[in-house]
Chain A
Amino acid sequence: MQQIIEFFIRNKNFLLFLTLFSLGYALTQKAHSGLYTRNIASTNKITGSVFSWLADKRNYFALREQNEELSAANAQLLVQYYKSKQDHQDSISGINLELTGNGVVIDTFEGRSLNIIRAHVINNNYHRRKNTLTIDKGSLDGVIPDMGVSSPVGIVGIITHVSEHFSVAQSVLNTNSRVVVKSKNSDHFGTLVWDGERIDQLLLTEIPKIAPLSIGDSLVTDGKSTIFPRGWPVGTVTDIKPAKAQDYLEVSVRPYTDMSNLYHVFLIQRPEAQEIQELETLSQNEF
């Protein structure tokens, strides 16, 4: 017995090291699996308030740039609005913007609506393999998991965790990220992933060889995944190579959004997403 106690006293430093190291390792593994504990994530109240304070201060220095980006996005929206007015002369009751508390609801002409919440990125990381964004809107503002996150120019990520006042999104710069996208000109679709290398390069995989793609083409979301609506901007094609698997292409994509310079974002929800998912699970259960 005495020997055991002596052993512990003699090796207390090593045992302490081993205990704490294993604890750190376990927390890391937990973070990798995506099952965050509420305390060790930046949805936490303390880190959340530090980040919003910091984003506030930093924002003064980026105002000019952000304003320009916003006005550019506004201009683009206006153009699209008038274009659609011309295209659909007979259904002119058409697009109807309604301002709500912290965002807008866009009624599309097919009677379906799109909930959009305006938000800000208060913590953005892009130098890891599994990057996340912390956003200053939470469940009290109507944020729910699986909403899409987009900058004024293109998609940014998908909401994964929500607390009352903050939420965390999986960035497209995350090796777990999967987004279904298609070319603007055709309906051939593929999966957009990230290989963990460069923050200005994504990879479009699983796109068939016969898809009419060329360098410089615009890519948009496909709408099959129920997260982003169809036709939301993603990026441009920068390089096309045959993939290792036959009959497929491997396409390099530069996202429209500069992922290292993010502040104003929109959170997008398709209200019909739940209905689609319920229907799909129902049909899978039957077969």
Chain B
Amino acid sequence: MNSSTQWLSISGRFLAVLMLQILVMDRILLFGFANPLMYCYFILLYPLSGNRVWLIVSSFALGLGVDIFNDTGGAHAAASVFLAWIRPTLLNFSFGVSYQYNTVKIANAPMGQQLIFVLSAVILHHLVLFSLEAGSWAYWLLVLKSTLITSLLSTVLILTAFQFFNRKNT
């Protein structure tokens, strides 16, 4: 894959994920408060060899896009930037140092490693997001509850998406 097609596929995925989040996922509300956040998919699946500065900037733009349509100010943007920044640490933690040599493809890694990676990333992202969104410590129990349930939901969706698009590529 040369760099211009990679650039094209990244921006295509950016738009697809943003549209999916705004038009479909934001209309879903399970158990009265769990709203699946699937756009983390973009941040998690950003090419491992890609430019980190661009990852952080595009994550901010993605989060801000979701914010604008949800009237949440900058909570999604801040949480996404946080996830983009902490991603290498999580990759290291889930797949070991070998990911740095480009030998790992996230969607082909063992299921256990994928689960750890996605779940830890999603929980951190949602925790930052819901804390910012609540805006006060008074709602900490509610924040924890939403984080937990929404994280499970988002993780299942993202892992499913990994499998779905992986099969098509190989």
Which residues on A are within 8 Å of B, measured CB to CB?
12-14, 16-17, 20-21, 23-32, 36, 39-42, 44, 47, 50-51, 54, 123, 125-130, 132, 134, 168, 196-199, 260
Decide if B84 touches A28 in the complex (CB within 8 Å).
no
Bound-complex Cα distance A215 to B72 (A):
36
Contact mask for chain B residues 73-107; partner A; CB cutoff 8 A; 1 contact, 0 none: 11111110110110000000000000000000000
Given contacts A28-B135, A129-B139, contact A17 B84 (CB under 8 A): yes
- Which of B8-16, B62-70, B118-126, B155-163 interfaces with chain A? B62-70
Offer 23 A-B interface pairs, CB within 8 angstroms, sorted by A. Answer: A20-B56, A20-B57, A21-B81, A21-B85, A24-B74, A27-B67, A28-B132, A29-B135, A31-B71, A31-B73, A40-B67, A40-B71, A40-B73, A44-B68, A50-B22, A123-B71, A125-B70, A129-B135, A129-B142, A130-B135, A168-B71, A196-B142, A198-B32
Decide if B60 touches A20 in the complex (CB within 8 Å).
yes
Given contacts A47-B69, A199-B32, contact A24 B56 (CB under 8 A): no
A156 → chain B, closest Cβ, in Å?
16
Q: Does B1 contact A (CB under 8 A)?
A: no
Residues of chain B within 8 A of A41, CB atoms compared = 68, 71
B156 → chain A, closest Cβ, in Å?
18
Given contacts A31-B71, A196-B139, contact A13 B81 (CB under 8 A): no
Given contacts A28-B74, A196-B142, contact A47 B81 (CB under 8 A): no
Identify which of A16, A50, A51 contacts B56 (C-beta below 8 A).
A16
Number of A-B contacts (CB under 8 A): 114
Residues of chain A within 8 A of B52, CB atoms compared = 13
Residues of chain B within 8 A of A21, CB atoms compared = 78, 81-82, 85
Residues of chain A within 8 A of B114, CB atoms compared = none
A103 → chain B, closest Cβ, in Å?
26
Residues of chain A within 8 A of B71, CB atoms compared = 31, 36, 40-42, 123, 125, 132, 134, 168
Which residues on B are within 8 Å of A, measured CB to CB?
22-23, 29, 32-35, 52-53, 56-57, 60, 63-64, 67-79, 81-82, 84-85, 132-135, 139, 142
Secondary structure class of chain B's binding surface, majority of residues: helix
Decide if A26 touches B74 in the complex (CB within 8 Å).
yes
Decide if B72 touches A128 in the complex (CB within 8 Å).
yes
Identify which of A28, A39, A198, A199 contacts B72 (C-beta below 8 A).
A28
Residues of chain B within 8 A of A132, CB atoms compared = 71
Given contacts A13-B85, A127-B29, A129-B133, contact A29 B73 (CB under 8 A): yes
Given contacts A24-B63, A40-B67, contact A31 B72 (CB under 8 A): yes
Residues of chain A within 8 A of B29, CB atoms compared = 126-127, 260
Decide if B77 touches A20 in the complex (CB within 8 Å).
yes
Identify which of A25, A127, A199 contacts B74 (C-beta below 8 A).
A25
B4 → chain A, closest Cβ, in Å?
24
Residues of chain A within 8 A of B70, CB atoms compared = 125
Residues of chain B within 8 A of A168, CB atoms compared = 71
B122 → chain A, closest Cβ, in Å?
17
Decide if B142 touches A47 in the complex (CB within 8 Å).
no
Identify which of B33, B60, B69, B73 contacts A127 (C-beta below 8 A).
B33
Residues of chain A within 8 A of B79, CB atoms compared = 24
Decide if B33 touches A47 in the complex (CB within 8 Å).
no
Best-buried of A42, A123, A125, A168 by chain B (most CB within 10 Å):
A125
Residues of chain A within 8 A of B69, CB atoms compared = 42, 47, 50-51, 123
Decide if B73 touches A13 in the complex (CB within 8 Å).
no
Bound-complex Cα distance A31 to B82 (A):
20
A84 → chain B, closest Cβ, in Å?
39
Decide if B68 touches A17 in the complex (CB within 8 Å).
no
Residues of chain A within 8 A of B78, CB atoms compared = 20-21, 23-25, 27-28
Residues of chain A within 8 A of B135, CB atoms compared = 28-29, 32, 129-130
Residues of chain A within 8 A of B134, CB atoms compared = 129
B161 → chain A, closest Cβ, in Å?
22
